[in-house]
Amino acid sequence: MPLHIHDTLRREKRLFTPRDASRVSLYVCGPTVYDYAHIGNARPPVVFDVLVRLLRRTYGADHVIYARNVTDVDDKINQKAAREGVPISEVTARYEAAYLADMALLNVSRPDIAPHVTDYIPAIVDQIQAIIDAGCAYAAEGHVLFDVSSYKNYGALSGRNLDDMIAGARVEVAPYKKNPHDFVLWKPSKADEPSWPSPWGEGRPGWHIECSAMIEQTLGLPIDIHGGGIDLVFPHHENEIAQGVCAHGHAHGDQAHDEYARYWMHNGFLTVDAEKMSKSIGNVLLLHDLVQAMPGEVVRWALLSAHYRQPLDWNQSLLDQSKKSLDRLYGALHRSSGIAALDLDPPADFLKSIEDDLNTPGAMASLFALSSEIERGMTAGDLDAVAQARGRLIACASILGVLQADPAAWLEGDVSDDLRVEVDSLLEQRAAARAAKDWPEADRIRDRLNELNVVVMDGPDGATWRMKG
């Protein structure tokens, strides 16, 4: 089954057909780098990393172009820099580096392009000017505002009707706005805030315009797929479409949104122990801390264990289950490590799942079936079957971005150096005792390993071990 994607704009699953199969383009809204990312922020990059891996497999590695932006100017960044008394670039460089290091631990590949807002201010200014020239924005008191009433299809993505929105508006409306839902394209900066020159005075861009300007500059319009978390549907993506369409004078076209992005994908939200993550509850889990406490692949597996559009609850049993699943798969790879894997495609059932709007839980079931095939083949001594199943398992794992560690190292896990030294020495003594047929000594060593919670696995290249768990 070729790839089908649930398109938020059309509210249905659609066959994915790229505009140009030799250049499939994808943009995902990236982090605002003012602090460490929380675990919810890690869901979109991991989900879309799977999509990119799948697209590269389908269209060829060099025929997919993936951009994920970095928001490096923002009020929260300004506040943090002011509190620390440092330039914003110091704050943003620190948290971007941490973000990339933590993403690498999750096996998230770098995007092809990572545009930073501060590098695109002239393009942003040009796009704002084009929107004004098209009659869809106006300057007032140092601000430029998008006039939502000028764009015929405003609300199409989020399913909101502008008249209802206006009737329901209770927010205090800034005096310079014609309509309460007009949103900022450019705003003035105070003396201590970062600013750039513009035809409307010194200032900085609003949030939404950065993405539409950088998409146009880096990928060109229309892009094939635009992704992000479900919270971005409104207002961020609704406003992106309005800007991208109106900058080209198409405010009145019925299908003008197709000229911006052809498919919209949004991931569901992550909760922690069934609660919304929030500073006031004190349950915000930082990715940076999680990847110190457990292997990044456990975090990745847990994030992919629910379908991306569904909510995902982060809790201890999810993590235990994820670790166990990976241990089982690594166990099969380890047990069969002496047998060379064939270079094969993933099996049809795996592709059917993953191409069905990224059904990762279904895809994971195929991995377990393959690991069982490996175990059965090893027990039966059917080495051809093992070589095939290994090859298919490795092919599936490279699309999900898991099983990238050395199986022996994975199974040994995070044990202290002292324990590692003791176990290695016990295994040497055990080998010597066995060679000397000193069975009581071999039994004593086995009991000691048991006390240490160590499972020994005898293989063709000698014994390896892992912690019970």
What whole-number distance in Å separates Cα of residue 158 and Cα of residue 234?
6
**CB nearer Zn ion, residue 213 or residue 400:** 213
Query: In the numeric block, which tokens belong to residue 213?
Result: 């300007």
From the list 325, 283, 332, 333, the residue with the least C-alpha distance to 304 is 325
Residue 296 or 346: the one with the smaller Cβ distance to ligand AMP is 296
3-state secondary structure 391-451: HHHHHHHHHHCCCCCCHHHHHHCCCCHHHHHHHHHHHHHHHHHHHCCCHHHHHHHHHHHHH
- Piece of the chain touching Zn ion by CB under 5 A; list 211-219, 362-370, 372-380, 385-393: 211-219
Using rule CB under 6 A, residue 31 touches ligand AMP: yes
What is the rounded CA–CA span in Å between residue 432 and residue 428? 6
31's contact among Zn ion, ligand AMP, none, with CB below 5 to 8 A by partner kind, is ligand AMP
How far apart CA 371 and CA 438 sit, in angstroms, is 36
Cα 80 to Cα 118, 188, 195, 207, 262, distances in angstroms: 17, 19, 16, 17, 37
Residue 298 binds which one of Zn ion, ligand AMP, none, with CB within 5 to 8 A depending on kind?
A: none
Examine residue 44 and tell whether it contacts ligand AMP (CB under 6 A): yes
Q: SS3 of 8, please?
A: coil
Q: Which of 5, 50, 211, 265 binds Zn ion (CB under 5 A)?
A: 211
3-state DSSP assignment of residue 228: strand
Which span sits near ligand AMP by CB under 6 A: 2-10, 14-22, 182-190, 224-232?
224-232
Query: Nearest distance from residue 270's CB to ligand AMP, in Å?
Result: 4
Decide: helix, strand or coil at residue 311.
coil
214: nearest Cα among 120, 111, 74: 120
Is there binding between residue 213 and Zn ion (CB under 5 A)? no
Residues 206, 229, 331, 391: which binds ligand AMP (CB under 6 A)? 229
- The answer to the question of residue 273 lying near ligand AMP (CB under 6 A) is no
Among residues 29 and 81, whose Cβ is nearest to Zn ion? 29
In the complex, the smallest distance separating the C-beta of residue 284 from ligand AMP, rounded to whole angstroms, is 10
Residue facing ligand AMP at closest CB distance: 229
Q: Which does 211 bind (CB under 5 to 8 A by kind): Zn ion, ligand AMP, none?
A: Zn ion
The one of ligand AMP, Zn ion, none whose footprint includes residue 43, by CB under 5 to 8 A per kind, is ligand AMP
Question: Cα 319 vs. chain centroid, distance in angstroms?
Answer: 18
Near ligand AMP by CB under 6 A: residue from 8, 25, 32, 217 = 32
Contacts to ligand AMP by CB under 6 A: 29, 31-32, 40-41, 43-44, 228-229, 231-232, 267, 269-270, 277
